[in-house]
Structure 1
Amino acid sequence: MEIDYKNIKVIGFDADDTLWVNETYFRDAETKFGQLLSEYETPNKLEQELFKKEIENLELYGYGVKAFTLSMVEAALELSNYNVKPKTIEAVLNIGKTMLNEPVELLDGVEEVLKTLSKKYKLILATKGDLLDQERKLEKSGLTKYFHHIEVLSEKKEGNYSKLLNHLDIKPSEFLMIGNSLKSDILPLVNLKAKAIHVPFHTTWAHEQVTENETNGKQYQTINSLTDLLNILN
């Protein structure tokens, strides 16, 4: 069934891995963490235990590089039975600092898409993570001028989006969300009767993955590149 976008007034964009590269840095950091702790466990075991620690800490720390770094420190302590050297902990902290200082690498066509669509629609940024880090990345990106509103959410669930739409004073039928995560950017909006377009990124954090059963019967569109939006919405 073809999806009709003619009533759309506001378009929301996810940030990480939709507008710029993000998850790649986390995968690289996990590899470095595995190398630092290689005397204690296998790479696969270290990755599994770090992921478990991240999920365990979500409620306390939320998302983002700082939360990830704290989880790496805790995992290093526990996996080494508290024998890890202070220098190794320092190296773990430096992994996090390096991540925070990475350049913002825009994905293909991002600025062209935002510049074009901002002439016809109100654009908002709806992302989750650490407020300071997301503000820093947005500033580095040079994209702030295209957004009517910027929202950094603690979670991306139906309730969070409902509050956002109420704040923007628009109906779900007038809102379109663009993002790379089916779990965070697509399914919650579809469940609210808003529109959503999925733009997959080449790597997805395990916590953001969904099953085929969760997507069955859900009406949304998937595109290969952000630039495909210009053919759909113009």
Structure 2
Amino acid sequence: MINVTVWNEYRHEIEDQEVREMYPEGIHNVVASFIKENGSEVRTATLDEENHGLTDEVLQNTDVLVWWGHKAHDEVNDEIVDKVHERVLDGMGLIVLHSAHFSKIFKKLMGTTCDLKWREADEKERMWVVNPAHPITEGIGEYIELEREEMYGEHFDIPAPDELIFTSWFEGGEVFRSGCTFYRGNGKIFYFRPGHETYPTYYNKEVQRVIQNGVKWAAPANRPRPIYGNASPLEQISND
């Protein structure tokens, strides 16, 4: 059983009629519903809850944290970001969705601006599988095609991914590294690009499958964090 927490700002759905019609129960509840189909234990948390819903108890009992944010990155408390960061280093998995590339936690883990080009023009996205042996691509064909999505374009200011899983082409001509994995400490991170709030992307079965696979992949290994600092020798050191 993987314990998953799905975090969402939950602002667009409240403030924007178009988004509310697309995701009336919030993006977090849609994502949580299809992750539950894999047998995971899933809770949700949102920005305006106390501690953003990410109390010490919640974080300690979360194997994988799924994060969606867009318009209120700066409102996330730095103390909570530091706690999430520490949990990732301890082994908690992190799935970063769409515009959460600009979240405080992702930028802290990447150490870069995480900036990019973008455009809203109702254009087609074709997201190619470039690492077909990776478990995140299980059950996915050569590509995922989305008829309407927001464009993200290179250069994407992130470190070179440890693994590149998907590369997108957009109708306007741009390309983008849309599925990237990173290892930080004991933790595994998966950035997955699609999911603009005005499009029905999270109802797409292939997108759902990728996120389900990502949760399985990011689940922590059962091992302690490495020990650092001054170390006693394992063998006797000869002074001859």
| TM-score normalised by the chain length of structure 2 | 0.32
TM-score by length of 1: 0.32
Give the helix-richer structure, 1 or 2: 1
Structure number having the greater strand percentage: 2
